[in-house]
């Protein structure tokens, strides 16, 4: 189904509720708004296979813009509202957008692209106007609220968050089929998480990221209500679950950590019994954190490992996770292979690069070199996201770290995720990154960069305490030899850490 079908049956049902402002967008409004924009796209000459981009915060009309492109057979790229001018210009230009949409609150960055992206034919601005942009509201006002004659499926073309270099545009194959055609993600969500028109889905993350966008659209295809947080706050999240009777939600481990650090009396204050499926992904979850969440919320926590590329999907529920602690599950899409540097399969328990066989096909837009680098060296059609992991004896996948984050110290491979997971649960740590920094003797040495719970405690005493704590639980060579303190770490709202930015500070020559 899609918003038009829901609107015909239940026009006044909330499609979107903005958590902060309380603004409601009904299914009728969602359908009509997206139809107006589809007509505008066609009037501007856009046809199936063309491209648009839009940069919006979690705006009430974010999903309407996405649906308009999706119903027009277009490729659409939501752009992070946190980008700087040159980053924005790169993505808008690289994706080949013919239309660019933004909002007045982001006008400072949005207008910087008017000279750097001359290929954009139409620029629209919500909630105001700015130089080079026409009023979105005025542009769509006279358009029909009925569907265009040639409705067909579009597809998102999302860019990686740039944690390891220039963002990469992931271009899937688009069939331009019927709107009612269920995709693989829809089938997986329907089979695993039992969504329905009675579901209430709480989205606490930025909608421009792959998982929040795709899950919100999927739940709306079924007529569910989507509650959108403008920004995440741990106590506010619990209050929203109680207020709206939330049944489904998707989070990232940093959100779990923040909620667990709330005072016990605060956590106990809210009734979250309506929540049946708490789904998490995007970053590895420390074992102690997940244990505590299952103790608190019960066996409703579900985890998956996948990427924007859609080349595989690995899943685990609470029961299996408790029997294989630390796993991200078994594959439901694509056959998992753990390979050495030569592309040979490794036995259970040995760490190597994770490849998927017979998963979804993708390419990095305009970058055949990067596309080839994601394929296995034997030319078998297997693809990788660049992660390291291993399979246990029962076929459950365990993640080790990103290949690009591996530290080589004295010839020994060290995966910093282990130390990060350990330090993240220390009560005096709000956030942590572990990286390799230059060392004349060993090549690299392990360093932790910590955002303390209180900057007043930052200093040699806390540094020694954290190093000792890590050494109590891990082999010494895996633990940081030094700790630097920061007020904030460069973390993406989806939970991913911009490790590249931290590493570059310590490797000026390589930068």
**Closest C-alpha among 139, 100, 136 to residue 117:** 100
Q: Which of 175, 203, 218 is the last residue of a domain?
A: 175
Query: In this predicted model, what pLDDT tens digit does every residue of 246-276 receive, in sequence order?
Result: 999 999 888 998 899 899 999 999 999 999 9
Residue 304 pLDDT > 50, yes or no? yes
Q: Is 422 in the same domain as 394?
A: no
Least confident of 118-122, 308-312, 453-457: 308-312
DSSP output for 343-380: SPBPPTT--EEEEEES---EEETT-HHHHHHTB-TT-S
As a whole number, the mean pLDDT across the chain is 91
The mean pLDDT of 452-472, rounded to a whole number, is 95
Q: Is 415 in the same domain as 487?
A: yes
Q: Which of 226, 255, 283 is the last residue of a domain?
A: 283
Q: Is 382 in the same domain as 460?
A: no
Asked whether residue 293 is assigned to any structural domain, the reply reads no
3-state helix, strand and coil shares in percent for the chain, rounded to the nearest 5: 35, 25, 40
The predicted pLDDT at position 164 comes to 46
CATH number at residue 218: 3.40.50.980
Asked whether residue 93 is assigned to any structural domain, the reply reads yes
Asked whether residue 438 is assigned to any structural domain, the reply reads yes
Least confident of 128-142, 178-192, 402-416, 459-473: 402-416
Q: Is 366 in the same domain as 442?
A: no
Query: In this predicted model, what pLDDT tens digit does every residue of 313-325 receive, in sequence order?
Result: 999 999 999 999 9
Count of structural domains within the chain: 4
* Boundaries of domain holding 94: 3-9+23-175
DSSP output for 317-348: -HHHHHHSTTEEEEEEESEEEEE-TTSPBPPT
Query: In this predicted model, what pLDDT tens digit does every residue of 226-235 receive, in sequence order?
Result: 999 999 999 9
Asked whether residue 15 is assigned to any structural domain, the reply reads no
The mean pLDDT of 320-333, rounded to a whole number, is 96
Asked whether residue 14 is assigned to any structural domain, the reply reads no
How many Cα atoms within 13 Å fall on the side-chain side of residue 201? Answer: 29
Least confident of 33-37, 363-367, 454-458: 363-367
Neighbours of 149 (CB within 10 A): 6
The mean pLDDT of 73-77, rounded to a whole number, is 96
Q: Is 113 in the same domain as 130?
A: yes
The predicted pLDDT at position 404 comes to 67
pLDDT winner (highest mean) among 139-148, 411-420, 434-443, 466-475: 139-148
- The pTM of this model reads 0.84
Tokens 């960069």 correspond to 449
Q: Is 420 in the same domain as 502?
A: yes
The predicted pLDDT at position 165 comes to 55
The predicted pLDDT at position 407 comes to 83
CATH number at residue 39: 3.40.50.12780
Asked whether residue 134 is assigned to any structural domain, the reply reads yes
The predicted pLDDT at position 510 comes to 47
What confidence tier does 163 reach under pLDDT thresholds 50, 70, 90?
A: very low
Q: Is 316 in the same domain as 365?
A: yes
Q: Which of 122, 153, 175 is the last residue of a domain?
A: 175
User: What SS3 class is residue 125?
Assistant: strand
Asked whether residue 289 is assigned to any structural domain, the reply reads no
What confidence tier does 168 reach under pLDDT thresholds 50, 70, 90?
A: confident
Asked whether residue 58 is assigned to any structural domain, the reply reads yes
CATH number at residue 316: 2.30.38.10
Q: Is 188 in the same domain as 166?
A: no
Residue 415 pLDDT > 80, yes or no? no
């Amino acid at each position: 189904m899609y918003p038009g079908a829901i609107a015909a049956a239940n026009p006044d049902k909330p499609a979107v509720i903005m958590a902060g402002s309380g603004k409601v967008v009904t299914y009728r409004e969602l359908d009509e708004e997206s139809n107006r924009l589809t007509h505008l796209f066609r009037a501007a000459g856009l046809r199936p296979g063309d491209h648009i981009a839009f940069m919006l915060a979690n705006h009430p009309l974010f999903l309407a813009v996405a649906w308009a492109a999706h119903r027009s057979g277009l490729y659409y790229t939501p752009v992070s509202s946190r980008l700087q001018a040159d980053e924005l210009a790169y993505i808008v230009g690289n994706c080949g957008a013919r239309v660019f949409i933004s909002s007045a609150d982001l006008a400072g960055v949005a207008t910087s692209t008017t000279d750097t992206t001359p290929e954009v034919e139409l620029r629209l601005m919500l909630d105001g106007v700015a130089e080079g942009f026409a009023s979105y509201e005025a542009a769509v006002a006279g358009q029909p609220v009925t569907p265009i004659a040639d409705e067909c499926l579009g597809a998102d073309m999302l860019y990686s968050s740039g944690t390891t270099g220039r963002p990469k545009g992931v271009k899937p194959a688009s069939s331009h089929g019927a709107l009612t055609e269920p995709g693989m993600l829809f089938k997986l969500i329907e089979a695993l998480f039992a969504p329905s028109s009675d579901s209430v889905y709480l989205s606490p993350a930025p909608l421009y990221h792959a998982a929040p966008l795709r899950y919100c659209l999927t739940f709306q295809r079924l007529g569910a209500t989507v509650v959108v947080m403008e920004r995440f706050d741990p106590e506010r999240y619990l209050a929203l679950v109680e207020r709206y009777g939330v049944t489904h939600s998707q989070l990232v481990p940093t959100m779990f950590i923040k909620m667990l650090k709330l005072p016990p009396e605060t956590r106990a204050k809210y009734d979250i019994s309506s929540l049946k499926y708490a789904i998490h992904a995007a970053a590895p979850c420390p074992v102690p954190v997940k244990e505590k969440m299952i103790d608190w919320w019960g066996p409703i926590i579900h985890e998956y490992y996948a990427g924007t590329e859609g080349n595989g999907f690995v899943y685990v529920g609470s029961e299996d996770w408790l029997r294989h602690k630390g796993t991200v599950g078994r594959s439901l899409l694509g056959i998992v292979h753990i390979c050495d540097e030569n592309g040979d399969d490794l036995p259970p328990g040995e760490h190597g690069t994770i490849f998927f066989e017979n998963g979804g096909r993708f390419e990095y837009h305009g970058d055949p070199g990067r596309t080839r680098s994601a394929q296995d060296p034997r030319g078998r059609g297997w693809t990788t996201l660049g992660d390291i992991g291993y399979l246990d004896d029962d076929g459950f996948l365990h993640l080790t770290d990103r290949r690009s984050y591996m530290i080589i110290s004295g010839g020994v491979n060290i995966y910093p995720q282990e130390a990060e997971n350990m330090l993240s649960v220390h009560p005096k740590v709000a956030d942590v990154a572990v990286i390799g920094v230059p060392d004349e003797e060993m090549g690299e040495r392990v360093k932790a960069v910590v955002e303390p719970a209180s900057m007043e405690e930052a200093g040699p005493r806390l540094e020694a305490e954290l190093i000792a704590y890590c050494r109590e639980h891990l082999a010494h060579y895996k633990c940081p030899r030094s700790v630097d303190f920061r007020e904030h770490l460069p973390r993406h709202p989806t939970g991913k850490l911009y490790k590249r930015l931290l590493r570059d500070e310590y490797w000026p020559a390589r930068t």
